């Protein structure tokens, strides 16, 4: 299987006054279609910079990022915007919802930018909100919802356009442990159902336990990749059928 994300020799250097800060020091990584990959590391390790590079939000200093066969490092800003609209969904830690809009209106926004008609985009947004357990909150504004409900709206917005890749930046960072487990389960459930590739940044080992693979990053370098697919595989039912 060909990787949907292929990263080679990725480096990022920031200039802070007279200093050169190396955020990424040469990253090589392949991520495959339908995978759930967690990138984990402490503050300052380079994990968020790596996510921003993959999402086309920042330009690399050196190296290549290929997603769905296209080189992001060669694209103009306009091309990157169009690429993200077609291929990428985002789930943010801070929810980033429009406060004056209802849940339905917030979720329709990616479809508005894609030029989808009003009736079709409202139907798609309502369906996704129902999938995420928000049937009774479709017309609520963010101020009328809990943190967990707002994050469900954020997930619906990321998934409604059926992108190939979902990038999630600490999506459970502002939630309590019980709500975090629920939100993580929903992201996984719908991503697997619809065949999305999920790339999540976290500092929380308990979140990373759910991933297919965990990429540990330190000082801008990948120091370890742990494959957890066998460990996380659902146990088979070995009970015999009654005669």
Per residue, what are the HEC states of 13-65?
EEEECCEEEEEEEEEEEEECCCCEEEEECCCCCCHHHHHHHHCCCCCCCEEEE
pLDDT tens for each residue of 116-143: 999 999 999 999 999 999 999 999 999 9
pLDDT above 90 for 168: yes
Q: Concatenate the DSSP letters of all residues of 54-115 into one string.
A: HTTSS--SEEEEEETTEEGGG--HHHHHHHHHHHEEEE-TT----TTS-HHHHHHHHHHHTT
- Does 161 have pLDDT greater than 60? yes
Phi, psi of 42 (to 5 degrees): -75, 175
**Could you count the other beta carbons within 10 Å of the beta carbon of residue 92?**
18
Rounded to 5 degrees, φ, ψ at 88 are -125, 145
- How much is the pTM? 0.89
- Residue 106 lies in domain: 36-48+76-232
* Confidence band, pLDDT 50/70/90 cuts, at residue 238: very low
Decide if 82 is inside a domain: yes
Q: Which two tokens stand for residue 156?
A: 């619906």
Number of domains making up the chain: 1
In a domain, 143, yes or no: yes
Q: In terms of DSSP bridges, do strands 197-202 and 36-40 run parallel, antiparallel, or are they unpaired?
A: parallel
Residue 60 sits at φ, ψ, to 5 deg, of -70, 155
- Per-residue pLDDT tens for 77-96? 999 999 998 899 999 888 89
- Within-domain flag for 140: yes
Tokens of 53: 């590079």
Mean pLDDT confidence for 153-169? 93
Question: Sign (positive/negative) of CA torsion 41, 84, 27, 44?
Answer: negative
What is the pLDDT averaged over residues 43-49? 91
Q: Is the pLDDT of residue 189 over 80?
A: yes
Percent of the chain with pLDDT over 90: 72
Return phi, psi of residue 173, to 5°.
-65, -25
pLDDT digits (tens, 9 = 90+) for 191-223: 898 999 999 999 888 889 999 999 999 999 999
* Arithmetic mean of pLDDT, 162-184: 89
Averaged pLDDT for residues 33-38: 95
pLDDT of residue 237: 52
Q: Is residue 59 part of a domain?
A: no
Quick one: pLDDT at residue 94?
A: 85
Residue 115 lies in a domain: yes
**Does a structural domain hold residue 68?**
no
Largest CA distance in the chain: 78
Q: What band does 54 get if pLDDT is binned at 50, 70 and 90?
A: very high
- Which pLDDT does position 119 carry in this prediction? 96
CATH number at residue 208: 3.40.50.300
Residue 2 belongs to a domain:
no
Q: Is 92 contained in some domain?
A: yes
Residue 236, pLDDT score: 54
């Amino acid at each position: 299987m060909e990787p949907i994300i292929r990263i080679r020799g990725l480096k990022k250097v920031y200039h802070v006054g007279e200093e050169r800060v190396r955020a990424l020091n040469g990253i090589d990584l392949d991520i495959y279609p339908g995978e759930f990959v967690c990138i984990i590391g402490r503050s300052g390790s380079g994990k968020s910079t790596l996510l921003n590079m993959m999402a086309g939000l920042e330009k690399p200093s050196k190296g290549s990022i290929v997603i769905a066969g296209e080189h992001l490092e060669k694209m103009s800003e306009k091309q990157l915007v169009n690429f993200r609209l077609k291929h990428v969904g985002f789930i943010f830690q801070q929810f980033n919802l429009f406060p004056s809009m209802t849940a339905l209106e917030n979720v329709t926004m990616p479809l508005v930018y894609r030029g989808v008609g009003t009736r079709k985009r409202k139907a798609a947004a309502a369906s996704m909100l129902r999938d995420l357990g928000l049937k009774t909150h479709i017309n609520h504004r963010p101020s009328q919802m809990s943190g967990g409900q707002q994050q469900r709206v954020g997930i619906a917005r990321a998934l409604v356009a059926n992108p190939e890749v979902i990038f999630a930046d600490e999506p459970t960072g502002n939630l309590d442990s019980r709500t975090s487990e629920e939100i993580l389960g929903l992201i996984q459930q719908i991503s697997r159902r619809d065949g999305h590739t999920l790339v999540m940044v976290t500092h929380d080992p308990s979140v990373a336990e759910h991933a297919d693979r965990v990429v540990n990053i330190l000082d801008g370098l990948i120091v370890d990749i742990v494959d957890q697919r066998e460990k996380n595989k659902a146990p088979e039912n070995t009970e015999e059928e009654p005669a």
